[in-house]
Copies of this chain bind each other. A is one copy, B any other.
Amino acid sequence: MKTINIGLIGFGTIGVGVVKNLQRNGALISQRIGAHLHIKGIADINIKGNRGVEVDRKILTTDASKLINDPDIDIIIELIGGYEPAKAFILKALKNGKHVVTANKALLALHGEEIFQAARDAKRSVCFEASVGGGIPIIKALREGFVGNRTNSIFGIVNGTSNYILTKMTREKVSFAAALKEAQARGYAEKDPTFDVEGIDSAHKLVILASLASGQWIDFKSLLIEGITKVTDRDIEYAEELGCVVKLLAIMKEKNGLIEARVHPTLISKDNLLATINGVYNAICVEGDVVGKTMFSGRGAGQDPTSSAVISDLVDIALDITHHASNRVPSFAALSEKKKLKKMDDVESRAYLRVSASDRPGVLAKIAGILGKHQISIATVLQKEHDEKGGTVPVVMLTHKATEKHLREALQEIDRMREIKHKTVMIRMED
């Protein structure tokens, strides 16, 4: 049985998971694939201490280049995260003829094009199943399972931290700050939660999914990104009264050669399958032009789910090696047909608006007038009777579909009314 030698760079939570689960199920995997996956070396800046998994200390090193330059190593797993030195390691490994497995969504989202070009040039694979959706085999599904499809849309809950916080806010009617604190206490959010709660992590993952689906690399800087830090428990409560929940969604749509890609808190109906995905779970809905609507869900992060994905990538590469079929499925297949990104101004969505107005007659009519002027029609109004602090009443509305441009312009005009006491809250809505 052929042995596939692996060099692991980054011996943190996920790296330990890979080693642990290869120990656990290695014999089973060998039987399934007719090859043996062998961790030949592990590099980390810190190789002291007990990680809860037994490894021969002789294979540990603080020098990653030892693995990258080892001619016996077939695959490098990059699990250190961040941009550098991760990128340099990956490019050097490819240059040295090694395949690469990575979970580094931030790196791929910003430098994917360059990395996949290097992989193509080296005729090697860069596999990244673990970069999106934890153990959910969504990359394989998009690239192989749906190879016969054009992707019409992707709607994803791809950040477990944000989903945990929103779930907690919904269930326990607590504030964002309180829910975040709890998430941090449970280890679901980092000390600095910016990447997760500001939507940046979701946007990284969306770039990867949208690029794969559309066959052209989507520029991270072109995305609209809004996080959940401004979502209040009150808006979640009103959403509930309207039969909706609030989720942080990564959205990609393609129609008539125009692509839109955005990340923002989104109202969705309680009947939407994504509304049932709670806590740290992730889910990704893909609509293909042939297959129709599909959904994939599972734990989106954590040692075990993520290492399940890393191992599936190792196996794919191992099978390519044993069958001399390098790069059998290209890591990223660029398509010749170039699509344009839709201008954010032109993106259409429904919207939830919460206007804080003085309780005077005629205010609602004035607001409705402004919306109408900007071609925004109102689907539902929820006027709350109770007074808020400061003598304002919240007017909650769901609009029909409108463009971003019109919504923004209308909101500016509304917020200039002297009856308006606070900036109007807008949360986009998807059906």
Contacts and interface: CB of A to CB of B under 8 A. Distances in A.
Contact of A311 (B148, B296, B328): B148
A144 B276 contact: no
Interface in A181-208: none
Contact of A296 (B33, B294, B336): B294
Contacts of A299: 291-294
Interface in A277-307: 277, 288-299, 304-305, 307
Contacts of A382: none
Interface stretch (A51-59, A74-82, A133-141): A133-141
A289 B25 contact: yes
Contacts of A47: none
A148 B292 contact: no
Given A21-B148, A140-B140, A135 B292 contact: yes
A158 to B, nearest CB: 15
Interface centre among A144, A148, A320 (most CB of B within 10 A): A148
A150 B25 contact: yes
A290 B135 contact: yes
A71 interface: no
A333 interface: yes
Contact of A290 (B148, B305, B315, B335): B305
A80 B148 CA distance: 22
B290 A25 contact: yes
Contact of A298 (B129, B292, B330): B292
A319 interface: yes
B28 A312 contact: no
Interface string A127-154: 0010000111100110011111110000
Interface centre among A277, A294, A319, A337 (most CB of B within 10 A): A294
Contacts of A379: none
Contact of A146 (B137, B147, B304, B336): B137
B298 A295 contact: yes
A286 to B, nearest CB: 9
Secondary structure dominating the interface of A: mixed
A15 to B, nearest CB: 15
A319 B140 CA distance: 15
A323 interface: yes
Nearest to A314: B148
B31 A333 contact: yes
Interface centre among A305, A308, A329, A336 (most CB of B within 10 A): A308
Contacts of A31: 215, 333, 335-336
Nearest to A143: B32
B145 A137 contact: yes
A273 interface: yes
A316 interface: yes
Contact of A136 (B290, B294, B311): B294
A308 B335 contact: no
A61 B319 CA distance: 38
Contact of A291 (B135, B294, B335): B135
Contacts of A24: 289-290
A213 to B, nearest CB: 11
A290 B319 contact: no
Nearest to A278: B271
Nearest to A318: B147
The 4 A-B residue pairs with the shortest CB-CB distance, nearest first, are A137-B145, A148-B311, A135-B291, A323-B325
Given A147-B315, A290-B311, A323-B328, 17 more contacts: A22-B148, A25-B290, A32-B215, A33-B333, A134-B291, A137-B140, A140-B140, A144-B312, A146-B312, A148-B308, A276-B276, A291-B298, A292-B299, A293-B299, A319-B325, A320-B325, A320-B328
